[in-house]
Amino acid sequence: MLGKSERESAVHAQLAAQLGGWTGGDSVLLDLGARSVTLATIAAIDGISAVVHIGHPAQPLPDLERLLLSTSNSLLFTAAVPVHSQWTLVGRSNETSGVAIIDEAGMRDCRGVLRTLGLAPHVVPTSMSVEERAELAGEHGVLVIEKSQIPTGFHELSDAGRFSEIPPLWYGLLETVETLADFDSPSQVWLAFGPDQDHKGSLLTTLNVFAEHGVDLQHLRSQRSQAGPHIFLSSFGVPNSENLLGLLAQLSERGVAYRVLAVIDGTEFVPGPDALDPIWSNMSDRALEQHRGDAS
């Protein structure tokens, strides 16, 4: 059986399941409740997996990392696929009130487009029916909705094309596993880790282990832990399971606790995660020289 959280777009999750080959035919995904309940259900009941929005295989969503790490350690993302956005903008007429009825998943994916169009979002539960949304929109309100769900009497508006600019949405398959499976092809790994002694320089010692294994950390962030030490959440590629197991063994020898959150086959995950165009310090060389002089 395959499910999803109640706040996720059924259209996009179903499309992901079909593209990934995770479900057959027209099988309907089960609504498993809130995201935390969804994860707990998968961990507790054999034979249930879930389709989950992950952000990107190389840069998982922070909230998802936190949720995974506070749930059963049997949970693991084992695959991921990109899905082309099905969101569009519809109305009864071209004269609109400027208010867009949109559900929680739509708001997550479309907030940038709404901002550029100057539309004020009215967020509704994902469980609200299309008929209820149409009634709420009234004569001049608009809906942000999946193309296959456009209600009778509504048509795509001239600005609907802007929604086709939304980058593909990445979804992952979340399953329960007993042990890490062997794999011979390059894969993306999400790894949470924490040195047993949290002190200045403890992270550097741990990072040396990654360097020794030739790991390129594509994602690294810290998170406070109630247990004391910092938790570090990372994402990187490995060539095979032997390389990963060697890394984990070395971490254990150094007294570093860890947990694997995902092993996703592949190396080129296109489109990539959001990229920054940084603007670095504009402090002039003269100011730096002055600072050095003051310090001496």
Which two structure tokens, joined as six digits, stand for 122? 């009215």
Q: Is the peptide bond before 278 cis (omega within 30 degrees of 0)?
A: no
pTM, rounded to two decimals: 0.91
* Structural contact between residues 101 and 137, judged by C-beta atoms closer than 8 angstroms: yes
CA distance 74 to 167: 31
What does the pLDDT read at residue 140? 92
pLDDT on residue 229:
64
- How large is the angle between the packed helices 35-44 and 62-69, nearest 10 degrees? 40
Tokens of 187: 């894969």
Cα gap 268→155, rounded to integer Å: 37
Of the candidates 136, 135, 130, which has an alpha carbon nearest to the alpha carbon of residue 151?
A: 130
Q: What is the dihedral of CA 190, 196, 201, 205, to 10 degrees?
A: -60
* pLDDT by position in tens, the chain (length 296): 899 999 999 999 999 999 999 986 567 899 999 999 999 999 999 899 999 999 999 999 999 999 999 999 999 999 999 999 999 999 998 888 899 999 999 999 999 999 999 999 999 999 999 999 999 999 999 999 999 999 999 999 999 999 999 999 999 999 999 899 999 999 999 999 987 665 566 678 888 899 999 999 999 998 877 766 678 999 999 999 999 999 999 999 988 889 999 999 998 888 888 778 888 877 666 776 777 777 66
